[in-house]
Structure 1
Amino acid sequence: MLVLAIDTSTKIGTVALYDSTEGVIGEINLNVKQNHSDTIMVVIDTLFKLSKKEIKDIDKIAVSSGPGSFTGIRIGVAVAKGLAYSLEKPIVGINELDILAELAGKRTGKIIAMLDARKERVFYAIYRYFDSNLVRESEYLDGEIRDIVKDSSEEILFLGDGAEANKTLITELMGEKAIFNLKSNNIPRSSILAELSLNKEDNLFTLEPFYVNKTQAEREKENQEKLKNTYI
Protein backbone atom coordinates (compact mmCIF):
# COMPACT_ATOMS: atom_id res chain seq x y z
CA MET A 1 0.00 0.00 0.00
CA LEU A 2 1.38 3.40 -1.02
CA VAL A 3 0.34 6.28 1.24
CA LEU A 4 0.65 10.01 0.59
CA ALA A 5 0.90 11.80 3.95
CA ILE A 6 0.32 15.55 4.35
CA ASP A 7 0.95 17.58 7.51
CA THR A 8 0.57 21.38 7.60
CA SER A 9 -0.54 21.70 11.23
CA THR A 10 2.66 23.50 12.31
CA LYS A 11 4.95 26.06 10.69
CA ILE A 12 6.91 23.20 9.13
CA GLY A 13 5.06 21.60 6.25
CA THR A 14 5.89 17.94 5.73
CA VAL A 15 4.81 15.44 3.09
CA ALA A 16 5.82 11.83 2.58
CA LEU A 17 5.31 8.80 0.39
CA TYR A 18 5.27 5.63 2.45
CA ASP A 19 5.02 2.05 1.25
CA SER A 20 3.67 -0.51 3.71
CA THR A 21 6.29 -3.01 2.50
CA GLU A 22 9.31 -0.86 1.66
CA GLY A 23 8.87 1.90 4.26
CA VAL A 24 9.64 5.56 3.48
CA ILE A 25 9.92 6.20 -0.26
CA GLY A 26 10.45 9.94 0.13
CA GLU A 27 9.84 12.71 2.65
CA ILE A 28 10.15 16.50 2.42
CA ASN A 29 10.05 18.95 5.33
CA LEU A 30 9.69 22.62 4.40
CA ASN A 31 10.12 25.59 6.73
CA VAL A 32 9.62 28.87 4.85
CA LYS A 33 7.84 32.16 5.54
CA GLN A 34 5.26 31.56 2.81
CA ASN A 35 1.84 30.21 3.72
CA HIS A 36 1.27 26.49 3.32
CA SER A 37 -1.40 27.34 0.75
CA ASP A 38 1.35 28.73 -1.50
CA THR A 39 3.72 25.78 -1.14
CA ILE A 40 1.97 22.52 -0.32
CA MET A 41 1.01 21.49 -3.87
CA VAL A 42 4.49 22.43 -5.12
CA VAL A 43 6.06 20.25 -2.41
CA ILE A 44 3.73 17.34 -3.21
CA ASP A 45 4.57 17.61 -6.92
CA THR A 46 8.30 17.73 -6.11
CA LEU A 47 8.00 14.67 -3.87
CA PHE A 48 6.45 12.60 -6.65
CA LYS A 49 9.07 13.73 -9.17
CA LEU A 50 11.99 12.93 -6.84
CA SER A 51 10.46 9.59 -5.87
CA LYS A 52 9.77 8.68 -9.50
CA LYS A 53 6.16 7.95 -8.64
CA GLU A 54 2.89 9.25 -10.03
CA ILE A 55 0.00 10.51 -7.94
CA LYS A 56 -2.29 7.91 -9.50
CA ASP A 57 -0.10 5.22 -7.89
CA ILE A 58 -1.19 6.03 -4.33
CA ASP A 59 -3.64 3.82 -2.45
CA LYS A 60 -4.48 6.11 0.46
CA ILE A 61 -4.11 9.70 1.67
CA ALA A 62 -3.26 10.50 5.28
CA VAL A 63 -3.50 13.98 6.77
CA SER A 64 -2.83 15.58 10.12
CA SER A 65 -6.23 16.74 11.36
CA GLY A 66 -4.78 19.00 14.07
CA PRO A 67 -4.54 20.55 16.57
CA GLY A 68 -2.07 23.28 15.66
CA SER A 69 -2.25 26.30 13.40
CA PHE A 70 -5.92 26.90 12.56
CA THR A 71 -5.07 28.06 9.04
CA GLY A 72 -2.51 25.31 8.49
CA ILE A 73 -4.91 22.58 9.57
CA ARG A 74 -7.63 23.83 7.24
CA ILE A 75 -5.21 23.93 4.30
CA GLY A 76 -3.89 20.42 4.87
CA VAL A 77 -7.31 18.84 5.37
CA ALA A 78 -8.77 20.67 2.36
CA VAL A 79 -5.92 19.58 0.07
CA ALA A 80 -6.08 15.98 1.30
CA LYS A 81 -9.86 15.79 0.90
CA GLY A 82 -9.67 17.33 -2.55
CA LEU A 83 -7.10 14.78 -3.68
CA ALA A 84 -8.99 11.88 -2.10
CA TYR A 85 -12.17 12.95 -3.85
CA SER A 86 -10.65 13.50 -7.28
CA LEU A 87 -8.56 10.31 -7.16
CA GLU A 88 -11.30 8.27 -5.48
CA LYS A 89 -8.92 7.11 -2.74
CA PRO A 90 -9.57 6.47 0.97
CA ILE A 91 -8.54 9.14 3.47
CA VAL A 92 -7.42 9.05 7.10
CA GLY A 93 -7.06 11.90 9.59
CA ILE A 94 -4.53 11.45 12.41
CA ASN A 95 -4.20 13.72 15.45
CA GLU A 96 -1.01 15.79 15.42
CA LEU A 97 -0.30 15.03 19.08
CA ASP A 98 -0.34 11.29 18.37
CA ILE A 99 2.23 11.86 15.62
CA LEU A 100 4.49 13.84 17.96
CA ALA A 101 4.22 11.26 20.74
CA GLU A 102 5.71 8.61 18.46
CA LEU A 103 8.98 10.59 18.56
CA ALA A 104 9.50 9.41 22.15
CA GLY A 105 11.23 6.29 20.86
CA LYS A 106 9.86 3.62 23.22
CA ARG A 107 10.91 5.60 26.29
CA THR A 108 9.50 4.40 29.59
CA GLY A 109 7.71 6.90 31.83
CA LYS A 110 5.36 9.79 31.28
CA ILE A 111 5.35 11.58 27.93
CA ILE A 112 3.60 14.86 27.12
CA ALA A 113 3.29 15.96 23.50
CA MET A 114 2.75 19.72 23.21
CA LEU A 115 1.89 22.20 20.47
CA ASP A 116 2.43 25.88 21.17
CA ALA A 117 -0.77 27.90 21.60
CA ARG A 118 1.13 31.03 22.80
CA LYS A 119 1.08 32.95 26.08
CA GLU A 120 2.28 29.90 28.04
CA ARG A 121 -0.61 27.79 26.74
CA VAL A 122 -0.35 24.57 24.75
CA PHE A 123 -2.45 21.91 23.09
CA TYR A 124 -1.32 18.66 24.70
CA ALA A 125 -1.96 15.02 25.53
CA ILE A 126 -0.32 12.59 27.94
CA TYR A 127 1.11 9.24 26.84
CA ARG A 128 2.94 6.23 28.23
CA TYR A 129 4.30 2.99 26.81
CA PHE A 130 2.75 -0.26 28.01
CA ASP A 131 4.23 -3.51 26.65
CA SER A 132 5.89 -1.59 23.81
CA ASN A 133 2.57 -0.01 22.84
CA LEU A 134 2.12 3.76 23.04
CA VAL A 135 -1.07 4.51 24.97
CA ARG A 136 -2.73 7.91 25.32
CA GLU A 137 -3.72 8.48 28.96
CA SER A 138 -5.62 11.75 28.56
CA GLU A 139 -8.03 13.54 26.29
CA TYR A 140 -6.64 16.02 23.76
CA LEU A 141 -6.44 19.16 25.89
CA ASP A 142 -5.72 22.89 25.92
CA GLY A 143 -4.11 24.29 29.05
CA GLU A 144 -1.55 26.49 30.79
CA ILE A 145 1.96 25.18 31.39
CA ARG A 146 1.81 25.88 35.13
CA ASP A 147 -1.36 23.84 35.53
CA ILE A 148 -0.08 20.96 33.42
CA VAL A 149 3.15 20.34 35.34
CA LYS A 150 2.17 21.36 38.87
CA ASP A 151 2.58 18.72 41.58
CA SER A 152 4.34 16.35 39.21
CA SER A 153 6.36 13.78 41.13
CA GLU A 154 7.92 11.90 38.19
CA GLU A 155 10.17 12.63 35.26
CA ILE A 156 8.34 13.75 32.13
CA LEU A 157 9.57 13.73 28.55
CA PHE A 158 8.24 16.80 26.72
CA LEU A 159 7.87 16.76 22.93
CA GLY A 160 6.84 19.28 20.29
CA ASP A 161 7.16 22.99 19.59
CA GLY A 162 5.08 23.72 22.69
CA ALA A 163 7.80 22.16 24.81
CA GLU A 164 10.49 24.04 22.91
CA ALA A 165 8.70 27.39 23.28
CA ASN A 166 8.14 26.90 27.01
CA LYS A 167 11.33 25.04 27.92
CA THR A 168 12.61 27.74 30.29
CA LEU A 169 9.35 27.90 32.25
CA ILE A 170 8.98 24.12 32.41
CA THR A 171 12.56 23.77 33.67
CA GLU A 172 11.97 26.44 36.32
CA LEU A 173 8.89 24.58 37.53
CA MET A 174 10.22 21.02 37.34
CA GLY A 175 14.00 21.19 37.44
CA GLU A 176 15.76 17.95 36.50
CA LYS A 177 12.46 16.07 36.28
CA ALA A 178 11.84 17.79 32.95
CA ILE A 179 13.37 15.98 29.97
CA PHE A 180 13.44 17.39 26.45
CA ASN A 181 14.13 15.74 23.11
CA LEU A 182 16.65 17.26 20.73
CA LYS A 183 15.23 20.11 18.66
CA SER A 184 15.29 18.04 15.48
CA ASN A 185 13.10 15.41 17.15
CA ASN A 186 10.38 17.95 17.88
CA ILE A 187 9.48 18.21 14.20
CA PRO A 188 6.38 16.21 13.20
CA ARG A 189 7.21 13.55 10.63
CA SER A 190 4.76 12.84 7.84
CA SER A 191 6.30 9.38 7.49
CA ILE A 192 5.06 8.62 11.02
CA LEU A 193 1.65 9.99 10.03
CA ALA A 194 1.61 7.60 7.08
CA GLU A 195 2.54 4.62 9.21
CA LEU A 196 -0.16 5.41 11.78
CA SER A 197 -2.75 5.52 9.00
CA LEU A 198 -2.18 2.05 7.57
CA ASN A 199 -5.03 0.21 9.27
CA LYS A 200 -7.44 3.14 9.50
CA GLU A 201 -9.95 4.90 7.28
CA ASP A 202 -12.26 7.90 7.70
CA ASN A 203 -15.33 9.10 5.89
CA LEU A 204 -14.27 11.66 3.30
CA PHE A 205 -17.40 13.75 3.81
CA THR A 206 -17.35 13.83 7.63
CA LEU A 207 -13.61 14.25 8.22
CA GLU A 208 -13.06 17.68 9.79
CA PRO A 209 -10.13 19.63 11.29
CA PHE A 210 -9.59 19.05 15.01
CA TYR A 211 -8.94 22.31 16.85
CA VAL A 212 -9.24 21.44 20.61
CA ASN A 213 -10.54 24.95 21.23
CA LYS A 214 -12.64 27.22 19.05
CA THR A 215 -11.20 29.45 16.34
CA GLN A 216 -11.56 33.22 16.63
CA ALA A 217 -14.29 33.17 13.97
CA GLU A 218 -16.20 30.48 15.88
CA ARG A 219 -15.92 32.42 19.13
CA GLU A 220 -17.18 35.60 17.45
CA LYS A 221 -20.10 33.72 15.92
CA GLU A 222 -20.95 32.20 19.29
CA ASN A 223 -20.85 35.63 20.96
CA GLN A 224 -23.11 37.06 18.25
CA GLU A 225 -25.59 34.24 18.83
CA LYS A 226 -25.57 34.96 22.55
CA LEU A 227 -26.21 38.66 21.94
CA LYS A 228 -28.98 37.83 19.48
CA ASN A 229 -30.66 35.54 22.01
CA THR A 230 -30.43 38.26 24.66
CA TYR A 231 -32.79 40.48 22.69
CA ILE A 232 -35.32 37.79 21.77
Structure 2
Amino acid sequence: MVNALSFEYSYKALIVYCRINNKDFSLFKLKSNFNFSIPKIFNDFVITNNIDLNQIKLIVNSCGPGSFTGLRISLSFVKGLALGLSIPFVNISTFDVFANLVKNSSSVIVLAFTAGKYFLGHYKNCELIGKILCFSKEDLFEYLNQIDPNSVLIGNNLENISEKFNYKFEIIENLSSFGRILTELGIAKYLKNRKSDDILSGPLYIRQSDAEINFHS
Protein backbone atom coordinates (compact mmCIF):
# COMPACT_ATOMS: atom_id res chain seq x y z
CA MET A 1 0.00 0.00 0.00
CA VAL A 2 1.27 3.46 -0.93
CA ASN A 3 1.37 5.92 1.96
CA ALA A 4 -0.47 8.94 0.57
CA LEU A 5 -1.66 12.41 1.53
CA SER A 6 -4.61 14.10 -0.21
CA PHE A 7 -5.97 17.65 -0.39
CA GLU A 8 -9.30 19.09 -1.53
CA TYR A 9 -10.00 22.83 -1.46
CA SER A 10 -12.14 23.45 -4.54
CA TYR A 11 -15.06 24.88 -2.60
CA LYS A 12 -15.72 26.18 0.93
CA ALA A 13 -14.01 23.45 2.93
CA LEU A 14 -10.50 22.10 3.26
CA ILE A 15 -10.32 18.31 3.29
CA VAL A 16 -7.05 16.62 4.21
CA TYR A 17 -6.81 12.83 4.18
CA CYS A 18 -3.78 10.74 5.08
CA ARG A 19 -3.35 7.00 4.64
CA ILE A 20 -0.14 5.81 6.25
CA ASN A 21 0.83 2.27 7.24
CA ASN A 22 -2.80 1.14 6.83
CA LYS A 23 -4.05 3.85 9.20
CA ASP A 24 -6.37 6.63 8.03
CA PHE A 25 -6.47 10.21 9.33
CA SER A 26 -8.80 12.92 8.06
CA LEU A 27 -9.60 16.59 8.51
CA PHE A 28 -12.65 18.56 7.37
CA LYS A 29 -12.55 22.30 8.06
CA LEU A 30 -14.87 24.98 6.71
CA LYS A 31 -13.28 28.24 5.65
CA SER A 32 -14.31 30.64 8.40
CA ASN A 33 -12.50 33.90 7.60
CA PHE A 34 -9.76 35.51 5.52
CA ASN A 35 -7.12 34.35 8.01
CA PHE A 36 -7.73 30.73 6.96
CA SER A 37 -4.20 29.33 6.68
CA ILE A 38 -3.70 25.97 4.99
CA PRO A 39 -0.05 25.63 6.17
CA LYS A 40 -1.02 26.21 9.82
CA ILE A 41 -4.06 23.95 9.67
CA PHE A 42 -2.00 21.23 8.00
CA ASN A 43 0.83 21.57 10.51
CA ASP A 44 -1.64 21.22 13.40
CA PHE A 45 -3.16 18.16 11.69
CA VAL A 46 0.26 16.51 11.33
CA ILE A 47 1.26 17.22 14.94
CA THR A 48 -2.08 16.15 16.42
CA ASN A 49 -2.01 12.81 14.60
CA ASN A 50 1.74 12.27 15.03
CA ILE A 51 2.20 11.82 11.27
CA ASP A 52 5.74 11.24 9.99
CA LEU A 53 5.82 13.08 6.66
CA ASN A 54 8.99 11.23 5.68
CA GLN A 55 6.86 8.10 5.31
CA ILE A 56 4.54 9.74 2.77
CA LYS A 57 5.29 8.53 -0.77
CA LEU A 58 2.59 10.35 -2.77
CA ILE A 59 0.49 13.52 -2.61
CA VAL A 60 -2.91 13.69 -4.31
CA ASN A 61 -4.56 16.97 -5.26
CA SER A 62 -8.23 17.56 -6.09
CA CYS A 63 -7.76 19.84 -9.11
CA GLY A 64 -11.26 21.13 -9.86
CA PRO A 65 -13.37 22.48 -11.39
CA GLY A 66 -14.22 24.75 -8.49
CA SER A 67 -13.18 27.99 -6.82
CA PHE A 68 -10.39 29.71 -8.79
CA THR A 69 -8.72 30.98 -5.61
CA GLY A 70 -9.10 27.77 -3.62
CA LEU A 71 -7.70 25.62 -6.41
CA ARG A 72 -4.67 27.88 -6.87
CA ILE A 73 -3.92 27.97 -3.14
CA SER A 74 -4.17 24.21 -2.66
CA LEU A 75 -2.16 23.37 -5.78
CA SER A 76 0.64 25.75 -4.78
CA PHE A 77 0.77 24.17 -1.33
CA VAL A 78 0.73 20.63 -2.75
CA LYS A 79 3.53 21.39 -5.22
CA GLY A 80 5.65 23.00 -2.50
CA LEU A 81 5.11 20.05 -0.19
CA ALA A 82 5.91 17.53 -2.93
CA LEU A 83 9.12 19.36 -3.84
CA GLY A 84 10.11 19.70 -0.19
CA LEU A 85 9.61 15.99 0.48
CA SER A 86 11.01 14.98 -2.94
CA ILE A 87 7.97 12.82 -3.70
CA PRO A 88 5.52 12.69 -6.64
CA PHE A 89 2.10 14.29 -6.76
CA VAL A 90 -0.90 13.61 -8.98
CA ASN A 91 -3.99 15.65 -9.84
CA ILE A 92 -7.45 14.09 -9.79
CA SER A 93 -10.56 15.79 -11.18
CA THR A 94 -12.86 16.84 -8.35
CA PHE A 95 -15.80 15.70 -10.45
CA ASP A 96 -14.28 12.23 -10.88
CA VAL A 97 -14.20 11.92 -7.09
CA PHE A 98 -17.85 12.94 -6.79
CA ALA A 99 -18.85 10.40 -9.44
CA ASN A 100 -17.02 7.62 -7.60
CA LEU A 101 -18.81 8.47 -4.35
CA VAL A 102 -21.92 6.93 -5.93
CA LYS A 103 -20.26 4.37 -8.20
CA ASN A 104 -23.19 1.96 -7.80
CA SER A 105 -25.36 4.40 -9.77
CA SER A 106 -25.14 3.95 -13.54
CA SER A 107 -25.97 7.62 -14.31
CA VAL A 108 -24.56 10.43 -12.17
CA ILE A 109 -24.84 14.21 -12.61
CA VAL A 110 -22.04 16.08 -10.82
CA LEU A 111 -22.70 19.76 -10.16
CA ALA A 112 -20.72 22.64 -8.69
CA PHE A 113 -21.64 26.31 -8.38
CA THR A 114 -18.96 28.99 -8.34
CA ALA A 115 -18.45 32.51 -9.73
CA GLY A 116 -22.12 32.74 -10.72
CA LYS A 117 -22.01 29.67 -12.96
CA TYR A 118 -22.96 26.02 -12.67
CA PHE A 119 -20.52 23.37 -13.82
CA LEU A 120 -21.91 19.99 -14.80
CA GLY A 121 -20.42 16.62 -15.64
CA HIS A 122 -22.56 13.66 -16.75
CA TYR A 123 -21.04 10.32 -15.76
CA LYS A 124 -22.06 6.81 -16.69
CA ASN A 125 -20.41 3.98 -14.79
CA CYS A 126 -17.92 6.51 -13.36
CA GLU A 127 -16.81 7.65 -16.84
CA LEU A 128 -17.35 11.26 -17.96
CA ILE A 129 -19.61 11.47 -21.01
CA GLY A 130 -18.36 14.21 -23.34
CA LYS A 131 -16.94 17.19 -21.45
CA ILE A 132 -17.74 19.27 -18.37
CA LEU A 133 -20.27 21.98 -19.24
CA CYS A 134 -20.79 25.51 -17.93
CA PHE A 135 -24.37 26.80 -17.49
CA SER A 136 -26.34 29.76 -16.29
CA LYS A 137 -29.06 28.85 -13.79
CA GLU A 138 -31.78 29.04 -16.45
CA ASP A 139 -29.88 26.89 -18.95
CA LEU A 140 -29.02 24.38 -16.24
CA PHE A 141 -32.67 23.92 -15.27
CA GLU A 142 -33.57 23.41 -18.92
CA TYR A 143 -30.82 20.81 -19.29
CA LEU A 144 -31.81 18.92 -16.13
CA ASN A 145 -35.42 18.72 -17.28
CA GLN A 146 -34.19 16.54 -20.16
CA ILE A 147 -32.05 14.18 -18.05
CA ASP A 148 -33.02 10.62 -17.16
CA PRO A 149 -34.89 10.79 -13.81
CA ASN A 150 -33.02 7.68 -12.65
CA SER A 151 -29.84 9.76 -12.47
CA VAL A 152 -28.25 10.68 -9.15
CA LEU A 153 -27.22 14.30 -8.45
CA ILE A 154 -24.17 15.03 -6.30
CA GLY A 155 -21.84 18.00 -5.81
CA ASN A 156 -21.35 21.34 -4.05
CA ASN A 157 -23.87 24.10 -3.29
CA LEU A 158 -26.98 22.22 -4.41
CA GLU A 159 -29.55 24.12 -2.34
CA ASN A 160 -31.37 25.67 -5.31
CA ILE A 161 -31.22 22.40 -7.22
CA SER A 162 -32.64 20.45 -4.29
CA GLU A 163 -35.64 22.75 -4.03
CA LYS A 164 -36.58 22.37 -7.67
CA PHE A 165 -35.56 18.82 -8.55
CA ASN A 166 -35.80 16.72 -5.37
CA TYR A 167 -39.00 15.20 -6.78
CA LYS A 168 -37.16 14.00 -9.90
CA PHE A 169 -33.65 12.96 -8.83
CA GLU A 170 -31.99 11.33 -5.87
CA ILE A 171 -29.77 14.13 -4.53
CA ILE A 172 -26.74 13.22 -2.41
CA GLU A 173 -24.93 15.79 -0.30
CA ASN A 174 -23.04 13.50 2.10
CA LEU A 175 -19.37 13.95 1.22
CA SER A 176 -17.89 12.12 4.23
CA SER A 177 -16.03 9.65 1.98
CA PHE A 178 -14.54 12.31 -0.32
CA GLY A 179 -11.01 12.17 1.11
CA ARG A 180 -10.85 8.40 1.01
CA ILE A 181 -12.06 8.18 -2.60
CA LEU A 182 -9.70 10.98 -3.68
CA THR A 183 -6.80 9.11 -2.12
CA GLU A 184 -7.73 5.79 -3.74
CA LEU A 185 -8.09 7.37 -7.19
CA GLY A 186 -4.76 9.14 -6.80
CA ILE A 187 -2.95 5.97 -5.76
CA ALA A 188 -4.51 4.04 -8.66
CA LYS A 189 -3.42 6.74 -11.14
CA TYR A 190 0.12 6.74 -9.81
CA LEU A 191 0.45 2.95 -9.80
CA LYS A 192 -0.80 2.87 -13.39
CA ASN A 193 1.52 5.58 -14.76
CA ARG A 194 4.38 5.29 -12.27
CA LYS A 195 5.20 8.97 -12.56
CA SER A 196 4.37 12.34 -11.04
CA ASP A 197 2.23 14.92 -12.80
CA ASP A 198 4.06 17.84 -14.40
CA ILE A 199 5.15 20.35 -11.76
CA LEU A 200 3.92 23.08 -14.15
CA SER A 201 0.41 21.61 -14.40
CA GLY A 202 -2.46 23.84 -13.34
CA PRO A 203 -5.97 23.36 -11.95
CA LEU A 204 -8.84 22.21 -14.14
CA TYR A 205 -10.60 25.40 -15.25
CA ILE A 206 -13.77 25.35 -17.33
CA ARG A 207 -13.98 29.13 -17.64
CA GLN A 208 -11.60 32.04 -17.20
CA SER A 209 -11.42 33.77 -13.84
CA ASP A 210 -13.10 37.17 -13.49
CA ALA A 211 -9.64 38.78 -13.38
CA GLU A 212 -8.68 37.15 -16.69
CA ILE A 213 -11.98 38.16 -18.28
CA ASN A 214 -11.53 41.78 -17.16
CA PHE A 215 -7.89 41.80 -18.32
CA HIS A 216 -8.80 40.72 -21.86
CA SER A 217 -11.91 42.91 -22.16
Q: TM-score scaled by structure 1?
A: 0.80
Cα contact 2:67–2:115 (8 A) shared by 1: no
Partner AA of 1:9 in structure 2: S
1:219 to 206, 213, 216: 213
Superposed, 1:181-200 pairs within 5 Å as: 181=172, 183=173, 185-186=174-175, 189-198=178-187, 199-200=189-190
* Unmatched runs of 5 consecutive residues or more in structure 1: 224-232
Q: Deviations over 1:103-128 (max 9, x none)?
A: 21412x32111111365x41121112
Q: Which position in structure 2 is the counterpart of 1:209?
A: 203
Cα contact 1:124–1:140 (8 A) shared by 2: yes
SS in 2 for 1:42: helix
Residues in 2 aligned to 1:165 and 1:13: alpha-carbon distance in whole angstroms: 23
Note if 1:48 corresponds to 2:46.
yes
Q: TM-score scaled by structure 2?
A: 0.86
Q: Decide which structure has greater helix share.
A: 1
Q: Which position in structure 2 is the counterpart of 1:7?
A: 8
* Unmatched runs of 5 consecutive residues or more in structure 2: none
Q: Which position in structure 2 is the counterpart of 1:29?
A: 28
Residues in 1 aligned to 2:129 and 2:44: alpha-carbon distance in whole angstroms: 38
Please say which structure displays the higher CA radius of gyration.
1
Residues in 2 aligned to 1:169 and 1:41: alpha-carbon distance in whole angstroms: 39
1:65 to 38, 63, 67: 63
Partner AA of 2:70 in structure 1: G
Residues in 2 aligned to 1:188 and 1:207: alpha-carbon distance in whole angstroms: 26
Residues in 1 aligned to 2:114 and 2:9: alpha-carbon distance in whole angstroms: 16
Q: CA RMSD in A?
A: 2.1
Change over 3 Å in CA distance of 1:118–1:215 after alignment to 2: closer
Change over 3 Å in CA distance of 1:118–1:27 after alignment to 2: same
The percentage of counterpart residues that share the same residue type is 21
Partner AA of 2:78 in structure 1: A
Partner AA of 1:52 in structure 2: N
